Structures are given as structure tokens and as C-alpha cells.
Amino acid sequence: VYWLPGNFLIRAPGFGYLNPLRALLLTVPITSAVVWYIRRTEYNRIWPLHNFMAAVMCVWLISYVRLPSLSVAAVVALLLGLYDFFMVYVTPRFTYDGKSVMETVARGGKKGEVLPMVVHVPSFSYGDKYQGCTGPIVGLIGMGDLIIPGFIVAYCGVVDAYCRRGESCKLSFLALGAYAAGLIITYIVK
């Protein structure tokens, strides 16, 4: 248990003993989920919250999963990359409407109900008196495109922490730089 300032308990009827600071911090995810549920179809307004929720899920999953070795992380990344390629570029040849299965799911299908499992990349347009400050969503980056390389960056960070004998190990900085460059290239290509 992590110590937080104000780490004391108060008795709450029906709930037992609660830490008031933790109860207050719990309002952030609950409020985020409720606001997202109510406004989930208003893409031009909800995308920052949507992206925040996706980022929190990415960080949580990367910090929760422990891979035993870099070779396991590399094999998982390779296999999921092949899966991603198949689902995005090969499945349009088999579907009746010629659309990718993965893109259809990520965009919410016919209903347009998009879950926070993608990061929206908006097209910013500032003309005509700012019209909500954003244009339509032009790109999506799937959580797998963020989480899988994140596993490798996290693993490199563990290796750096383990062999921190002077300034010889800088794997995490190199991996993070390559990760950021890959995301920038993905944004430019989209």
C-alpha cells in the first residue's frame, strides 16, 4: 500500500472504513466514465477525454504486465504486427463492403459507438470562427500500436535500472526515442 498524505480512515455508513483522499481520487475515473458514456457519440468534443482514458489504460497495462525476456517481447510484437497487418490490409479482400474488419470495429461499425480502445488523431481546422476548434477525426491509432512497443520500452527501462553502473546503459532512452519517432511517422503517414 502506497502512503498518501492524509492516509487515515474514516467510518462511512454502509461502506466501512474509507480513506478520504482515495475516495476523492476515485471520483476522477468515475466522472470520466460517466461523461464519456453520456457524450460518447460527440467525437468533436469528446476526443480529449477519449484519448485520456485510452492513455490511462495503456499506462496501466504496460505497468501491470511483466514480460520475462526481450525475446518474448519481440516475438509478441512480431506476431501482433502480423495480426495487425492481416486484419487491416488483407481482410478488406474478404468482406462484402471491402472495409477492414479492424477499422470497422475501431470506428464503431454502423452505430458509431467507439470504445476508448483507440487514440483519435483529429484534423485541426481553425477557420470559420473556430467551429468547435476541431475538424473531423481523420486518424485512429489502435491501443496495440501503443501498448506492444510500450512493453519493449518498459523492458529496456528495467534493463537500464538493473545495469545502472555508471552511464553505460541507455537502452530506455534509445527505445523511447524510437517509439516516439515511430508514432510521429504513423501520424504523418495517416
Instruction: Give the active site residues.
Output: 84, 145
The residues that bridge with 126 in the sheet, in sequence order, are none
The string of DSSP codes covering 20-78 is HHHHHHHHHHHHHHHHHHHHTT-HHHHHHHHHHHHHHHHHHHHHH---S-HHHHHHHHH
Neighbour-count burial of 13, counting CB atoms closer than 10 A to its CB (0-12 exposed, 13-18 middle, 19+ buried): exposed
Neighbour-count burial of 146, counting CB atoms closer than 10 A to its CB (0-12 exposed, 13-18 middle, 19+ buried): buried
